[in-house]
Structure 1
Amino acid sequence: MKIIIAPDSFKSTLSALKVASAIKEGFLEIFNDATYILIPIADGGEGTLNSLMYNQDGKIIEVRVKNALLEDTKAYIGITDEGKTAIVESALACGIEQIPPKNLNPLKASSYGVGQLIKNALQLHVKKIIIGVGSTATNDCGAGMLIALGAKLINKSGQEMNYKNIDLNEIASIDLTHFDKSIYDKEIIVASDVNNPLLGLNGATYTYGPQKGATQDILPILEKGMKNFSTVSNNLMHKSYQNHPGSGSGGGLGFSLLTYFNATIMSGIGLMIQAKNIETLVYDADILITGEGKIDEQTIFGKGPYGLVRHAKLINPKILTIGISGSLGNNLNELYNDGFDAVFNTILTPGKLEEISENTYQNIKIVSSNIARLLKVR
């Protein structure tokens, strides 16, 4: 029996590799003679760098950047392909997991650190930059990122905006005179964890703003700012990407990367499938186990486990696909219709979040063992 274990991370709790290890331990209790292949995945969000670098030749470089609240923080850049490719993970600069929930504020959160990461990558003389844009605390449409790379945002009074205080509603023009043009010599690949557009009820603000700290009264303010920024950008660049799938990823980072960087956007999990040669691995596999911290209605917008399972079923319709999640949302019928054979919850007993998090590894192992027992009696 060949079993592929390819989970995403359980955010703030376990890395994708630790989740995979826990699942394998549970299955080994029942199927100790199976062939196991562990593939920690990510979809462009948190964990993308480590997942792409796992079992790959290359190196990881430490840099200093600003986080979403413009505080100094440590981040990393991956270098692969004999120094030709850099991997940048936006979540390492302005990730939502780095900010205490009480301090989340998308009106002030900045993508400036993402621009710093890209600037560092440009100085490494690579030919390609892969930019994961998911799991950010930001909703600034990449405005902070542009400033870090030399752009000037001018307000309606004709004054340049300080990178510490950007109001998308006040932007009247953008000056690219000092923008780092070396970016145009590189192949830019955007790994998006979702396929949402920039604007509208399914856009960046209304879909993901609440989890970034946006209350109902400020959602219209954020959306208006996004619309203003996209209008100014479209007029300047003679492009229109606000409806493009994935332009709403990373709080609008996808939009600016498409508009100002001539980037190519692709699903993060699609990139992972390609990089890890998953098509070949699932071709003759019996079971595929994936998962993430929460599987819910947002999963169908391009999240890793969903994309992975759909692709696996196309390659190998007979493969059994199982999802393991810290918690489950409602309306999962579409997941079952699109490839999942079963999805399981790993919270075994009620408790405080801290207690549940401490037991996550053991709970995943127990649930995995129980799944394996069920499969053995099929």
Structure 2
Amino acid sequence: MKILIAPDSFKGSISSTEAARIIESAVKTVSDDIRTRTFPMADGGEGTVDAILLGTGGHRIVKEVRDPLGRPIQAALGWMPEERTAVIETAAASGLPLLAREELDPLSCTTFGTGELILEALNLGAETIVLGLGGSATVDCGTGIFEALGARFIDSGGQVLNSPGGKLGSIAEIDTSALDPRLGSTNIVVASDVTNPLLGKDGAVHVFGPQKGVTAELLVPMENDMAHFARVVSAHTGRDETDTPGSGAAGGIGFLLRSLLSVTFRPGIELIMETSGFTDALPEADLMITGEGRVDGQSLFGKVPAGIGRLAKQHGIPTAALAGSIGSGIEALEEHGVCVVHPIVSGPISLEEAMNNAESLLFESAVRLIKTIRLMPKQ
């Protein structure tokens, strides 16, 4: 039997690389005659750099940049010198895991550090930049990124606004005359699993804002400020990207990327499956094992388990998913190739306890899954 192991991260507890290692160890504990290959996955968020580098042989470059609150932090980008390609995650410099819960501040958090990583990629001579959108702590519509790249955001009195993310409603004009000219000749590929528009009940503020500290009292004023900013951007560019799928990604970064640059959006999971060698290895597999922190009906929309399941189903290969928690709507995943969703917890447990013991829980769950599979009669 040959098993391919391709999990996403179990956010806040286990990286996709660690998850793949743990699951493989569990498989070998049950039976050392099962052949395995591991392919850590990501959907554009945390783990995207490592997942792509594992498949391409590139390396990490660490640079001091600003975190979401403007503090110095060491963040890494992936660099493939032969391909002249850089891989950047917004989560590396602008991500939620960089802040404690009490530090979440949607009116102060900025994506400036992600812009600094993009500048580093340009300085390296990147001809292609893969930018993974996901896991950001920001709702600044990407203004911090473009501030770092040379754009200026100006209020009605002619004053340049520094860290304009929390002042979207005060921006009256955008000056892109000093935007780094190298961006115009760089192929920018945006890896994102998000199809949400910028505004409305399915937009950046209402859907993703609460997890980033947007309170119920802030929802309407922040939505109004973002709508105002969108009108300013549309007046500047002559086109309106607010309803374009993916514009709401990473607190509105998708919108400003689409508006100010020529970019190509790709589902993160598809991009990583291609670059990692996963698609070439898949036809030889008898079983797929994937997983992530939470699996529910929303997993159909660009998430790793559904993406893995769909591709495996095309080759007639069953997929099992290990999940930190299971929500409603998982039945729909069966149509997309995920035959079973297996929880990693075996009984009532607090979130804190589950997070603290995630590695052992994942290992034990994978052992139970493989033992169950070994009981099945061979066809």
In structure 2, the gaps of 5 or more residues are none
Name the structure 1 match of 2:343.
345
Contact 2:297 2:330 in 1 (8 A): yes
CA distance in 1, matches of 2:322, 2:225: 38
Question: Residue 320 of structure 1 corresponds to which residue in structure 2?
Answer: 318
% same residue: 36
Deviation at 1:81, TM superposition (A): 4.8
Equivalenced residue count is 376
Letter in 2 for 1:371: L
Summarize deviations over 1:179-206 as a string: whole Å, max 9, x none.
Answer: 1121011100001132222222222222
Root-mean-square deviation (CA, aligned residues, Å) is 1.7
Q: Match for residue 268 of structure 1?
A: 268
CA distance in 1, matches of 2:102, 2:369: 37
CA drift of 1:154 comes to: 0.9
Alignment of 1:58-77 (within 5 A): 58-77=58-77
Shift of 1:349: 4.3
On the 8 A contact 2:171/2:229 being kept in 1, the answer is yes
- Output the CA distance in 1 between the equivalents of 2:298 and 2:207: 9
What CA distance in whole angstroms lies between the structure 2 residues aligned with 1:182 and 1:348?
53
Corresponding residue SS for 2:244: coil
What is the aligned partner in structure 1 of residue 363 from structure 2?
365
Q: Aligned to 2:245, what secondary structure does the other structure show?
A: coil
* 1:105 Cα offset (Å): 2.1
Q: CA deviation digits over 1:281-306, x for unaligned, max 9?
A: 22231111111112234322212222
Q: Assess if the C-alpha contact under 8 Å between 2:94 and 2:110 holds in 1.
A: yes
Report if aligned partners of 1:70, 1:164 keep a CA contact under 8 Å in 2: no
Give runs of aligned pairs for residues 243-322 of structure 1, distance below 5 A.
243-314=243-314, 316=315, 318-322=316-320
Distance between the aligned counterparts of 2:98 and 2:132, measured in 1?
A: 16
Matched with 1:47 is 47
Indicate if the aligned counterparts of 2:55 and 2:275 stay in contact, CA closer than 8 A. no
How many angstroms apart in 1 are the aligned matches of 2:170 and 2:66? 23
Q: Please, what TM-score do these two structures have when normalized by structure 2?
A: 0.94
Shift of 1:37: 0.7
Deviates more, 1:343-352 or 1:84-93: 343-352
Offset at 1:250?
Answer: 1.0
Which residue is 1:179 aligned to?
A: 179
Q: SS of 2:30's equivalent?
A: coil
2:354 aligns to what? 356
Question: Following TM superposition, by how much is the alpha carbon of 1:215 offset from its aligned partner in structure 2, in angstroms?
Answer: 1.6
Query: Unaligned 5+ residue runs, structure 1?
Result: none
Q: Given the two structures, how large is their TM-score scaled by the length of structure 1? A: 0.95
Please give the residue correspondences for 1:225-244 in structure 2 after superposition, counting only pairs within 5 Å.
225-244=225-244
How far did residue 166 of structure 1 move? 3.8
Letter in 1 for 2:87: I
**1:133 — aligned with what?**
133
Tell me which residue corresponds to 1:336: 334
Structure-2 change in CA distance of 1:139 and 1:87 (3 Å): same
- Hey, what does 2:22 align to over in structure 1? 22
Q: How far 1:11 moved relative to its partner?
A: 1.5
* TM-aligned CA deviation for residue 165 of structure 1: 6.4
The letter for the 1-side match of 2:296 is D
- Structure 2 CA distance for partners of 1:195 and 1:49, relative to 1, 3 Å: same
| Structure 2 residue aligned with 1:121 | 121
SS across alignment from 1:183? helix
Please give the alpha-carbon distance, in whole angstroms, between the structure 2 residues aligned to 1:70 and 1:81.
30
Stretch deviating more after TM superposition (110-119 or 274-283) = 274-283
CA deviations over 1:327-361 (Å, ceiling 9, x no partner): 12222232233221111111234444443223211
The one-letter amino acid of 1:170's match is: S
Question: Which structure shows the bigger proportion of residues in helix conformation?
Answer: 2
Q: Which amino acid aligns with 1:367?
A: S
* 1:246 Cα deviation after fit: 1.6
**C-alpha distance in 1 between matches for 2:311 and 2:238:** 35
Matched residue, 1:374: 372
For residue 205 of structure 1, what is the aligned residue in structure 2? 205
Counterpart-to-counterpart distance in 1, 2:271 and 2:253: 18
